[in-house]
Amino acid sequence: MRLLVHNLLMCNKCDKNNYPLKIEVNKSVIMELEFKKDAILKLIPKLDFEVLSNTVRELGFKQFPKQIPPNVEQDLAFLKDLHRVLFETHIMDGQLTCPNPSCKRNYPITNGIPNMILTEDEQ
Amino acid sequence: MSRPESQLPPNLYYNEQESVKYTNCNRIINIQTQLSERAIQLLDLDLDECSLVLDIGCGSGISGFYLTQEGVNWVGLDISESMLNVAQQEKTEGELLLCDIGQGFKFRPGVFDAAISISVIQWLCVSFKKSENPYKRCTAFFESLRNCLKNNARAVFQFYPENNEQINMITSAALRAGFSGDIVVDYPNSAKAKKLYLVLQLGGQSSKKTMDVIQGLIEESDEEKVKVIGRQQKKIRKQKKQKKISEKSKLWILKRKEKQTRLGRKVKKTTKYTGRKRNNLGLFK
């Protein structure tokens, strides 16, 4: 799982206070991917940047900016950091937890793929 | 060959063995590739604006590969762990999620610019467990999809419905969720090549209460086939018009005798006793 999908995903079970899911990482790996400036620029409006920034900082990358810098199209350093965080950092093992205190449902991540399937009772 | 949908639920059908076979079989890859290309064509993406697409039933990533080629980021959902593992191995550039679309799924509202699905949604119409209600699953799926698509987003689903009931179940669920759209049929006159695409739009003409079936691609040779089928149907209709003569009746006997005479065989003379009603006396049944 990469942080792009984490930025979009909500808890499947509850309706309120179900975003963002808390990440617990057991194993992560960096896999390089070709940097495409246009693709990343197109994606920026889709991101909840505050959530992304908080998540990235919690996972250890303290230097990541809290806000999108002005003149982002020219800020290549920022775009490359964003690319690394969104596309190159793979969480291979861990879990996602719903932030809703009355839910707290755990979604395990195995082989880099989060399991969002609910049991029969939960539906 | 029976349909996969009648054999096992999809997460069991697409097990490790089947997933590997699926990914290595050239015939399947070719078909899925053609379907993906056609679906992307029907999506009519504005590549300057489009940045995120949802691939429903992404499997081993065949359709996702074409989305990546178009420069579009995608998130793939699939119920088969084995298929997703294959996609992971192939280092697909999309995001992968293990998910049962019939349960519904939740993403931030309006994040996706479009949705694509190849050979998947007919699975929603079959249930293997008592607790699974196809109607509810179709409803949950289309409602979830509506929530995560942006306004005016388009969704294209190539699917294999078994019968009209399945088509109705799917289209009515889509309409209930607020989509409008049509079913596009490619190569309608070829049993083998015929393919159905459900093309949906969110917002737009919300006043439309039904979906039309419109003709998509048609091969040149299909026009010849239409002529031949026309002639055959004429022949069948003519045969039906001729009333069926009941066996052993006098008329039937006379026709048989006429036929035998034409064939040059010895036939007894027709008299007033030919085919007369006989009193069975209970001797012959």
B173-201 pLDDT tens trace: 999 999 999 999 999 888 888 999 999 99
Q: Please check whether residue A89 lies inside any domain of the structure.
A: yes
Question: For chain A, what is the domain count?
Answer: 1
Q: Tell me the mean pLDDT in the region A62-73.
A: 90
Give the C-alpha separation, B158 to B139, whole Å: 18
Mean pLDDT by 10 residues, chain B (285 residues): 84 88 87 92 90 95 91 94 93 93 95 96 90 92 96 94 93 94 91 91 70 79 54 71 76 90 89 84 61
Q: What is residue B37's predicted lDDT score, i.e. its pLDDT?
A: 93
Query: What pLDDT digit, counting tens, does each position of A14-24 carry?
Result: 988 999 999 99
Q: What is residue B219's predicted lDDT score, i.e. its pLDDT?
A: 72
Instruction: Read off the CATH number of the domain in which A101 is found.
Output: 2.20.25.10
Q: What is residue B231's predicted lDDT score, i.e. its pLDDT?
A: 64
- pTM for the predicted model, two decimal places: 0.81
Name the minimum distance, in Å, from the CA of A65 to any CA of chain B: 22
B264: left (phi over 0), alpha (psi -120 to 50) or beta: left
Q: Please check whether residue A26 lies inside any domain of the structure.
A: yes
Q: Please check whether residue A109 lies inside any domain of the structure.
A: yes
Q: What is residue B74's predicted lDDT score, i.e. its pLDDT?
A: 96
Q: Please check whether residue A99 lies inside any domain of the structure.
A: yes
Q: Where are the alpha helices (DSSP H) in chain A?
A: 3-8, 37-43, 49-58, 76-83
3-state SS class at A7: helix
Cβ-proximal residues to B193 (8 Å cutoff; 6+ apart), any chain: B186, B187, B219
In B, which residues are within 8 Å of A11 by CB distance?
106
Cβ-proximal residues to B26 (8 Å cutoff; 6+ apart), any chain: none
Q: Please check whether residue A14 lies inside any domain of the structure.
A: yes
Q: What is residue A7's predicted lDDT score, i.e. its pLDDT?
A: 95
Give the C-alpha separation, B156 to B201, whole Å: 9
Q: What is residue B160's predicted lDDT score, i.e. its pLDDT?
A: 94
Q: Please check whether residue A122 lies inside any domain of the structure.
A: no
Checking if the pLDDT of A110 tops 90, the result is: yes
Q: Please check whether residue A123 lies inside any domain of the structure.
A: no
Cβ-proximal residues to B15 (8 Å cutoff; 6+ apart), any chain: B80, B82
Contact A120 B106 (CB under 8 A): no
Confirm or reject contact between B197 and chain A (CB < 8 A): no
Contact B108 A8 (CB under 8 A): yes
Q: Please check whether residue A108 lies inside any domain of the structure.
A: yes
Q: What is residue A123's predicted lDDT score, i.e. its pLDDT?
A: 77
Q: Among partner residues A46, A112, A120, which is closest to B52 by beta-carbon distance? A: A46
Q: What is residue A31's predicted lDDT score, i.e. its pLDDT?
A: 92
- Taking CA atoms, what residue in B is nearest to A9? B107
Q: A73 is in which domain, residue-wise?
A: 3-117
Give me the residues of B, 46-85, that contact A with CB < 8 A.
49-52, 71, 73, 75, 79, 81, 84-85
